[in-house]
């Protein structure tokens, strides 16, 4: 039978260490909504999502009450809209009308984000894909809750450099379109390599075409729990350190598994995966960077950071995998800058640079995330940064992503405030040397060789 110490431990994790379930994400396929008539298409999308998700928020709240565990976000992901809108959309405005539909249904059912305003163009772009990508600035500046992602590369296909070039331009345009709100639109736009079909986390969530009609995916969190557990083993060797992370990750993930199964039962939607991620928030004590400091670094970014992050990421997976029957999504430690107080402190202290962040993304999920850069950064420079990050994902057979925010009208040393879970960030300097000729070549980078790995 459960004893008092176990109850106290669990409740301390929840009350003092910010243990929560970060998101229940309901994936909904929109393939059966496809229509060549734009109005009909929008109507079908609205109704399908509304019917599937009308009880999502109340169910999440009920589970939260029953187990006494906060479930921070309830969200929806849908089939990439480039596939759904291709037959009906002839202009960027046509595509943006679908974004408006997604935004209004998200507000109606009460979810805070809806992901899937996406295109999968890792090898080539159809006219619809390209039109959707070109509509992203308009879509993100006219909606509030829609998130967009574009997959521009994969280990199997290589990197679509035409799409990389275009995304550099679109990120800058999105920043320009939303400059009144400190270029907030870019916080809802991710460029991926090897994007997973079942990711529950925004802004990159979409419902892959290989998925069932509806699915429940859950993302857990708990950097504060890991940090607190590690405080008790200060000075111990790596074996003790790793065991502690593993055991903690197991406990955190079990909560996610329980919530996922309950939500699946109550909504009568199959359970997809649990995403084993350490997802920070700007709240004090909910930071991945603080874990790195607890492992022994003065600041995130100090020498040793990549190794510390590698072991953290690996142990989280090792502990989490046994705790859940199905694991998927991004599964790793997130290192967003603006959403993590410890990362912000590290940037302000001068310990953490864009280049070090790039190195860190080699060993963890997901990539260059929520990084504010000067608003006068060239589109080709953004494309160059994207290409570098995509190359890391392609060669290492992992997901990588870029979510950069060129803040129009602001420069290095200034701070940008996004609010809520998105946090705030000091604007980081970007390497000023040109990569124009590289980005402007056009075409694609071939897939890497999959054998002869040495």
Partner 1 sequence: MKKTIITVVGKDTVGIIAKVCTYLAENGINILDISQTIVQGYFNMMMIVDTNGMSKQFGDMADELAALGEEIGVVIKCQKEEIFDKMHRI
Residue 433 makes CB contacts below 8 A (sequence gap 6+) with none
Question: Is the alpha carbon torsion for 209, 421, 415, 345 positive or negative?
Answer: negative
In the region spanning residues 300 to 339, those forming contacts with partner 1, defined by CB under 8 A, are 322
Cβ atoms 73, 23 nearer than 8 A:
yes
Query: Which range touches partner 1 (CB under 8 A), out of 4-12, 212-220, 231-239, 310-318?
Result: 4-12
Q: Which is nearer to partner 1, 3 or 268 (CB)?
A: 3
Per DSSP, the three-state class of 368 is strand
Residue 26 makes CB contacts below 8 A (sequence gap 6+) with 52, 53, 56, 74, 75, 76, 77, 214, 215, 216, 267, 269
Cβ atoms 71, 24 nearer than 8 A:
yes
12 binds partner 1 (CB under 8 A): no
Residue from 40, 65, 234, 265 in contact with partner 1 (CB under 8 A): 65
Residues in the chain: 454
Distance in Å, CB of 275 to partner 1, minimum: 17
Residue from 35, 54, 67, 70 in contact with partner 1 (CB under 8 A): 67
Per DSSP, the three-state class of 327 is strand
Measured CA to CA, the distance from residue 300 to residue 347 in angstroms comes to 9
Distance in Å, CB of 263 to partner 1, minimum: 13
Query: Which range touches partner 1 (CB under 8 A), out of 37-45, 59-67, 306-314, 392-400?
Result: 59-67
24 binds partner 1 (CB under 8 A): no
Q: Which is nearer to partner 1, 208 or 219 (CB)?
A: 219
Query: Which range touches partner 1 (CB under 8 A), out of 64-72, 76-84, 151-159, 418-426?
Result: 64-72
244 binds partner 1 (CB under 8 A): no
349 binds partner 1 (CB under 8 A): no
Residue from 2, 232, 442, 451 in contact with partner 1 (CB under 8 A): 2
Distance in Å, CB of 327 to partner 1, minimum: 16
Query: Which range touches partner 1 (CB under 8 A), out of 8-16, 193-201, 233-241, 357-365?
Result: 8-16
179 binds partner 1 (CB under 8 A): no
Among candidate residues 129, 127, 98, the one with its CA nearest the CA of residue 114: 98
278 binds partner 1 (CB under 8 A): no
Distance in Å, CB of 11 to partner 1, minimum: 7
Residue from 24, 33, 52, 69 in contact with partner 1 (CB under 8 A): 69
Alpha carbon 451 to chain centroid, angstroms: 30
344 binds partner 1 (CB under 8 A): no
Distance in Å, CB of 313 to partner 1, minimum: 22
Distance in Å, CB of 61 to partner 1, minimum: 9
Distance in Å, CB of 9 to partner 1, minimum: 8
Q: Which is nearer to partner 1, 9 or 37 (CB)?
A: 9
Radius of gyration of the chain (CA): 21
Q: Which is nearer to partner 1, 317 or 410 (CB)?
A: 317
Q: Which is nearer to partner 1, 255 or 387 (CB)?
A: 255
Cβ atoms 349, 295 nearer than 8 A:
no
68 binds partner 1 (CB under 8 A): yes
Residue 81 makes CB contacts below 8 A (sequence gap 6+) with 30, 95, 98, 99, 102, 116, 117, 118, 119, 132
Expressed in angstroms, the distance from the first to the final Cα of the chain is: 52
Binding mask 247-276 for partner 1 (x = CB under 8 A): ----x--xx-xx------------------
C-alpha dist (Å) from residue 170 to 180, 190, 223, 268? 17, 11, 33, 39
Residue 283 makes CB contacts below 8 A (sequence gap 6+) with 18, 341
Among candidate residues 226, 154, 229, the one with its CA nearest the CA of residue 447: 154
144 binds partner 1 (CB under 8 A): no
- The residue ranges that bind partner 1 (CB under 8 A) are 1-4, 6-11, 62, 65-69, 251, 254-255, 257-258, 322
């Amino acid at each position: 039978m459960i004893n008092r110490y176990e109850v106290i431990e669990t409740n301390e994790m929840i009350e003092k260490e910010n243990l929560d379930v970060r998101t229940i994400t309901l994936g909904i396929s929109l393939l059966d909504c496809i229509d060549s008539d734009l109005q009909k298409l929008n109507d079908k999308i609205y109704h399908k999502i509304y019917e599937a998700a009308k009880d999502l928020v109340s169910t999440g709240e009920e589970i939260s009450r029953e187990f006494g565990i906060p479930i921070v976000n309830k969200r929806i992901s849908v089939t990439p809209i480039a596939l759904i809108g291709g037959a009906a959309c002839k202009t960027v405005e046509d595509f943006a009308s679908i974004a408006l539909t997604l935004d209004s249904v998200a507000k109606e059912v009460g979810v805070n984000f809806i992901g899937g305003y996406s295109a999968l163009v890792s090898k080539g772009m159809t006219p619809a894909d390209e039109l959707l990508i070109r509509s992203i600035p308009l879509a993100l500046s006219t909606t509030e809750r829609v998130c967009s992602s574009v997959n521009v590369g994969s280990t199997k296909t290589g990197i679509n450099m035409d799409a990389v070039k275009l995304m550099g331009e679109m990120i800058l345009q999105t920043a320009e379109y939303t400059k009144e709100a400190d270029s907030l639109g870019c916080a809802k736009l991710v460029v991926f390599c090897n994007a997973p079909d079942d990711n529950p986390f925004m802004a990159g969530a979409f419902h892959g075409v290989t998925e069932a009609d509806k699915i429940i995916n859950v993302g857990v969190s708990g950097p504060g729990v890991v940090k607190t557990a590690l405080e008790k083993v200060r000075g111990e060797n790596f074996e003790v350190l790793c065991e502690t992370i593993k055991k903690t990750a197991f406990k955190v993930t079990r909560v996610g598994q329980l919530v996922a199964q309950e939500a699946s039962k109550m909504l009568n939607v199959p359970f997809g995966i649990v995403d084993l991620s350490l997802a920070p928030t700007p709240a004090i004590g909910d930071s991945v960077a603080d874990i790195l400091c607890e492992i022994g670094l003065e600041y995130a970014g100090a020498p040793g950071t990549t190794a510390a992050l590698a072991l953290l990421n690996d142990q989280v997976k090792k502990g989490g995998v046994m705790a859940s029957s199905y694991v998927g999504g991004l599964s790793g430690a997130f290192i967003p800058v603006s959403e993590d107080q410890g990362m912000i402190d590290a940037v302000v202290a001068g310990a953490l640079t864009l280049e070090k962040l790039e190195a860190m993304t080699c060993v963890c999920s997901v990539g260059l995330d929520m990084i504010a850069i000067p608003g006068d950064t060239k589109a080709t420079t953004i494309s160059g940064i994207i290409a570098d990050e995509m190359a890391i994902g392609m060669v290492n057979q992992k997901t990588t992503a870029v979510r950069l925010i060129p803040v129009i009208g602001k420069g290095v040393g200034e701070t940008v405030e996004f609010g809520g879970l998105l946090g705030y960030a000091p604007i980081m300097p970007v390497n000023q040397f040109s990569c124009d000729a590289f980005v402007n070549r056009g075409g694609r980078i071939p897939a890497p060789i999959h054998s002869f790995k040495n």
